[in-house]
Amino acid sequence: MKVEYPIQVGSMLYTMVDPKRGSEKEYNRWYERDHFYAGCMIGPYLFSGRRWVATKELKNLRFPEDSPFAKPVNAGSYLSIYWHLKGYNQEKSNWSRPQVHWLYENGRGFNERTHIHTSTYWYDWRLYRDEDPVPIELALDRKYKGLVSVATMPNANVARQEVDHWFEGRYLSEFMKGSPVASCCGWSAILPKTSERGSPMEIPTVQNPELMTLQLYFLDVDPRECWSKFTQLGADLSDSGLGKVIFAAPFIPTVVGTDEYTDELW
């Protein structure tokens, strides 16, 4: 019997960043040993988080070459993802915005970095490969070997929901069957209110974010071992006539407590 547990994800923070060259180790340690916790995890209703990295080799696999999600497409070496408890996104936001300003005002920011894509998203849907899967709520703690981030945009006169329904109802069950793709979840952008205080750093935006779906694929293997599946996914969506992939990027998890991969970013 399926049990609905009370800990459910309702929204997430997705933040993809590049350290400035020469600051890789310093940035990695600052983020891992201070900001990951002080900027996010100690806040109310954030119940899970994980950091991922894209080496130069992984970034070279990204497509399409001209992406509105990341400019240029190979920008963004580190990705941090945080789950927020369902029903408490506003309470989380009420804490996080003043908190990040307080950190910078008290010398605990890090200016030698560039935000490539940082935004919050509503949870919309999920699909699993297995009958008794690891829930999405546990995915950031599961120690998956890889993550693929895919952003899609509908074609003109096509609703975003039509693209989502194509993935959910027609495409992904066969795509995931017998594959190393354990789960997929879909997200839509949370549009900020004009009255909300901005970030102490410049945050780029995507044009028409309300039309975009962000998908996260959790993998049992290094994404290089199955990247052809995702290039085919991009081609299949284009052939459907419904939309296109505007960003597809593989990541592997950071090795907590080490500087591994800091010398492989460029």
Which domains can be identified in the chain, with CATH numbers?
A: 9-253 (3.30.70.100)
pLDDT score of 197: 53
Position 28 scores a pLDDT of: 98
Question: For position 2, what pLDDT does the model report?
Answer: 74
Query: How much is the pLDDT for 11?
Result: 98
Task: Name the 3-class secondary structure at 218.
Answer: strand
| Residue 1 clears pLDDT 80, i.e. is over it | no
pTM of the model: 0.96
Mean pLDDT calculated for residue range 3-24: 96
H or E stretch covering 161: helix 160-166
> Residue 195: its pLDDT value, please?
45
How many other CB atoms sit within 10 Å of the CB of residue 178? Answer: 7
Virtual torsion, Cα 90, 214, 16, 97, nearest 10 deg: -10
> Is the pLDDT confidence value at 194 over 60?
no
Over pLDDT 70: what percentage of the chain? 97
pLDDT score, position 51: 98
d(CA 87, CA 243): 31
Q: How much is the pLDDT for 265?
A: 98
Residue whose entry in the numeric block shows the structure tokens 């030698």: 112
Taking the C-alpha atoms of residue 8 and residue 3, their distance in angstroms, rounded to an integer, is 12
Among candidate residues 143, 146, 139, 134, the one with its CA nearest the CA of residue 221: 146
Peptide bond into 154 cis (omega under 30): no
What value does the mean pLDDT take over residues 81-99?
95
Per-residue pLDDT at 136 exceeds 50:
yes
Residues contacting 234, CB < 8 A, separation 6+: 63, 64, 244, 245, 248
What are 218-240's pLDDT values in tens digits? 999 999 999 999 999 999 999 99
